[in-house]
Amino acid sequence: MRLLLLAPPGAGKGTQGERLAALFGVRHIAAGELLRAQARTEGRLGREIAGYQARGDLVPDEIVFDVLTPAVVEAADRGGYILDGFPRTLPQATVAAELAARFDVTLDVAVYLFAPDEVLTRRLLARAGAGGRTDDTADVIRYRLRVFGETTGPLVGYYRERGILVAVDADQPPESVTADIQARLSGLSPAEHSR
Ligand code: ADP
């Protein structure tokens, strides 16, 4: 199974990514987590990544590919992955699709998790209250939602055109979201489902 989770901040990519990875027995690759791990390392690259993340700006594509590609290639080799937060821009999606086609590991499905901005903001502020991330402040949350709408949103149309988009309502309890995703996946063609 090679699945991409496409979702605005607060929609539950991380939670669903873990659950789906356990269900399908594949690796959960969280782009934001891998970049945060890199940001914690000493040196210029770490500081640069930390700066983009703290502001809510996307990390430049070149850095993202350097950090993410090895994990994706290794997981593809081992039977698949749940990608959470990568690709996140049209250029990332086109380069990733070219690479995937070359190695015959194209995406089976892109799951778009959607919820109203008020719900997303409320969840992220609650996470901040519980000692969450440095980018979970009201201003940065507003900015991240804008970046999602402007830069990542177009990927919804991109994957819909390719016929692999599944849209699921994320404004429900986590178990219901997972159940909806599973139900929609079982409706896919057997070839896509069994991989
Ligand atoms: P969220 O979706 O809540 O913003 P993530 O952990 O997915 O949380 O991402 C946090 C930050 O990591 C983003 O604001 C961005 O700075 C960086 N990031 C994650 N994935 C990508 C990506 N594919 N391309 C560029 N930057 C990314």
Distance from C-alpha of 39 to C-alpha of 24, rounded to nearest angstrom:
29
* Per-residue pLDDT of the chain in tens (195 residues, 90 and over written 9): 999 999 999 999 999 999 999 999 999 999 999 999 999 998 999 999 999 999 999 999 999 999 999 999 999 999 999 999 999 999 999 999 998 898 888 999 999 999 999 999 999 999 888 877 889 999 999 999 999 999 999 999 999 999 999 999 999 999 999 999 999 998 775 544 444
The string of pLDDT tens digits covering residues 140-180 is 999 999 999 999 999 999 999 999 999 999 999 999 999 99
* Amino acid letter, 89: T
How far is Cα 84 from Cα 6, in angstroms, rounded to an integer?
A: 7
Residues 6+ apart with CB under 8 A from 20: 3, 5, 28, 82, 178, 181
The pLDDT value recorded for residue 195 is: 47
Which residues have a Cβ under 8 Å from the Cβ of 58 and sit 6 or more positions away?
A: 52, 64, 88, 89, 147, 151
Q: Is the CB of 64 under 6 A from ligand 1?
A: yes
State if residue 144 touches ligand 1 by the CB under 6 angstroms criterion: yes
pTM: 0.93
31 C-alpha to center of ligand 1: Å?
6
Q: What is the DSSP string of 51-98?
A: HHHHHTPPPPHHHHHHHHHHHHHHHHHTT-EEEES-S-SHHHHHHHHH
Residue 33 CA: which ligand 1 atom is closest? Answer: 6
The closest of 22, 24, 31 to 1, measured between CA atoms, is 24
By most ligand atoms within 8 Å of CB, the mutation choice from 69, 84, 144 for ligand 1 is 144
